[in-house]
Amino acid sequence: MSDSKILFLDIDDTLLCRDKTLTPENDALIRTALQEGHHIVICSGRPLAGILPVAERLDLLKPGCFLIAFNGGLIYDCGKKKPVFEKTLPLEDVRLLFKKADEHGLYIQTYDDRNLLIRKETEETRFYTGRISVIPRVMPDLPDGLEKEPVKALLVELHDKSRLDRYREEVAPIVKGRVSLFYSSEYLLECVKEGISKGAAVKWLCGYLGIPLTSSVAAGDSENDIPMLEAAHVGCAMKNATGACKAAADYITEQDCDHSGVAEIIRRFIL
Within a domain: 215: yes
**Domain end (from 193, 216, 235):** 193
**Domain end (from 153, 172, 193):** 193
Within a domain: 44: yes
Within a domain: 96: yes
Q: What is the pLDDT of residues 149-168, one digit of tens each?
A: 999 999 999 999 999 999 99
**What is the mean predicted confidence (pLDDT) over 17-27?**
96
Q: What is the pLDDT of residues 76-121, one digit of tens each?
A: 999 999 999 999 999 999 999 999 999 999 999 999 988 999 999 9
Check: CB of residue 255 under 8 Å from CB of residue 264: yes
Within a domain: 149: yes
Is 171 in the same domain as 97? Answer: yes
Q: What total of structural domains would you count in the chain? A: 2
Is 201 in the same domain as 183? Answer: no
* Residue 242 confidence class, pLDDT cut points 50, 70, 90: very high
d(CA 56, CA 71) in angstroms, rounded, equals 20
- Amino acid 113: pLDDT: 86
Within a domain: 181: yes
Check: CB of residue 218 under 8 Å from CB of residue 7: yes
- Amino acid 167: pLDDT: 98
- Amino acid 3: pLDDT: 83
d(CA 260, CA 79) in angstroms, rounded, equals 28
Check: CB of residue 245 under 8 Å from CB of residue 229: yes
Within a domain: 150: yes
Is 113 in the same domain as 68? Answer: no
- Structural domain for 154, as ranges: 91-193
* Residue 2 confidence class, pLDDT cut points 50, 70, 90: low
Mean pLDDT, all residues of the chain: 96
Is 216 in the same domain as 234? Answer: yes
Start-to-end C-alpha separation, the chain: 13
Is 97 in the same domain as 187? Answer: yes
Within a domain: 216: yes
- Amino acid 1: pLDDT: 46
Within a domain: 1: no
**pTM for this model (two decimals):** 0.93
List the CATH number of the domain containing 154: 3.30.1240.10
d(CA 259, CA 257) in angstroms, rounded, equals 5
Say whether 106 sits in a helix, a strand or coil.
coil
**What is the mean predicted confidence (pLDDT) over 135-150?**
95
**What is the mean predicted confidence (pLDDT) over 230-243?**
98
DSSP string, 62-73: STT-EEEEGGGT
List the CATH number of the domain containing 52: 3.40.50.1000
Q: How far is CA 214 from CA 3, 4, 7, 67, 250, in A?
A: 11, 11, 11, 20, 14
